[in-house]
Structure 1
Amino acid sequence: MNPFVVISGCSGGGKSSLIQELARRGYAVVEEPGRRIVAEERAAGGRALPWTDLAAFARRAIAVAAADRTSHEGAGDWVFFDRGLVDVAVALAHATAADRLDPTVTRNPYHRAMFMAPPWPEIYETDDARLHSLDEAVAEYDRLLPAYRDLGYDITFLPKIGIEDRADFVVERLAMRRR
């Protein structure tokens, strides 16, 4: 069984809060590569930022996401990823107008079941690492959804409910897949 479960979707859709709740429950989690890169680039005065050089940012994020996956090889239970290789490959394809995704995506699959956070305008807000508008976040979501479908993932849309109930939903859906 592949224990790597991606939680993807619209920026500001509650993914990181869900990841934090899953970690609180004792699950292994991997924070979003993009947020870590933004913090590192800002600290170093770098330019691999999504609003400065999206292609450089995405290339770096692919390397980070692949390393994240490798570092959790052999995990016995679910490992939840706040975004993953597909997300950053889609960003790179968008930035470079490529017609196909980086091959790292198909060489390093996640569990077939993945969870997608739909746009949630009522909770969307910008912060130091998320400078784009809700419209830009929805456009990104609109690129991610077909990419995950085309790669054969079984997409489950996260309901717009409280974080604890959302975590229950994810854990219950995955338990049903184990049966």
Structure 2
Amino acid sequence: MKNRKIIISGPPGSGKTTIINALKAKDYNCLEEINPAKINDPTIKNNKNSLSEFLFKHREKQYNQFTGQLAFYDRSMIDVVAYLSYWNIQYPKHWSQIIQNCQYANNVFYTPSWKEIYKNSTNRLETYKEAQLIEIFLKKTYLDFGYNIIEIPKVGLEERLNFIINKI
């Protein structure tokens, strides 16, 4: 059976959540990103290791939803590993086995950094320059875990949606 768990990843402010919301509006199964800026517990929010552990567990739980059904994921466990690499923090080695056991569709839809749509907000912790650096770590980490990156073109939302839907 073809794996129908589709990751949409990319740096902050590149349009992932907009795409997920539009797919959801078209009645696709979608799992939203948990935004670190919305976590109220300071013991989690202010400690990168605790935050990463929290996000990893949350995304592992998300993985187990919609078994056998087509579903789109706004980021995955692999994004957590990429962010830890960006912060120069070693991720727990047992995470590699969890990631290997939780296989998504081999093609990851990737929203590249896009200055024209990037917006600063209270929910966005990274600057555009930081987002560009994070992009390097995201791409490398997905490739390291054996995924193919399909870059979503920098076009209008409907064209982006059609691009994704036509590729799955």
TM-score (ref. length: structure 1): 0.85
Contact 1:59 1:92 (C-alpha < 8 Å) held by counterparts: no
Contact 1:90 1:147 (C-alpha < 8 Å) held by counterparts: yes
State the distance in 2 between where 1:31 and 1:60 align: 15
Amino acid at match of 1:46: P
Identity of matched residues, %: 25
Instruction: Give the SS at the match of 2:53.
Output: helix
Q: 2:74 aligns with which of 78, 82, 87?
A: 82
Amino acid at match of 2:151: F
Amino acid at match of 1:88: V
Aligned to 2:137: 143
Q: CA deviation at 1:94?
A: 4.0
Contact 2:7 2:74 (C-alpha < 8 Å) held by counterparts: yes
Instruction: Give the SS at the match of 2:30.
Output: strand
State the distance in 1 between where 2:78 and 2:147 align: 11
Aligned to 1:25: 26
- Unaligned 5+ residue runs, structure 1? 175-179
Q: CA deviation at 1:120?
A: 0.3
State the superposition RMSD in angstroms.
1.8
Contact 2:37 2:124 (C-alpha < 8 Å) held by counterparts: no
Contact 1:89 1:105 (C-alpha < 8 Å) held by counterparts: no
Contact 1:115 1:155 (C-alpha < 8 Å) held by counterparts: yes
TM-score (ref. length: structure 2): 0.90
- Unaligned 5+ residue runs, structure 2? none
State the distance in 1 between where 2:20 and 2:135 align: 18
Q: CA deviation at 1:117?
A: 0.8
Q: CA deviation at 1:14?
A: 0.5
Provide Cα deviations, 1:134-165, integer angstroms capped at 9, x if missing partner.
Answer: 11111111101011112221211010111111
State how 1:160-179 maps to structure 2 within 5 Å: 160-174=154-168
Q: In the alignment, does 2:15 pair up with 1:14? A: yes
Task: After superposing the two structures, state which structure 1 stretch, 113-122 or 127-136, moved more.
Answer: 127-136
State the distance in 2 between where 1:138 and 1:164 align: 24
State the distance in 2 between where 1:144 and 1:25 align: 28
Amino acid at match of 2:162: D
Amino acid at match of 1:98: Q
Q: CA deviation at 1:72?
A: 2.1
Aligned to 2:84: 92
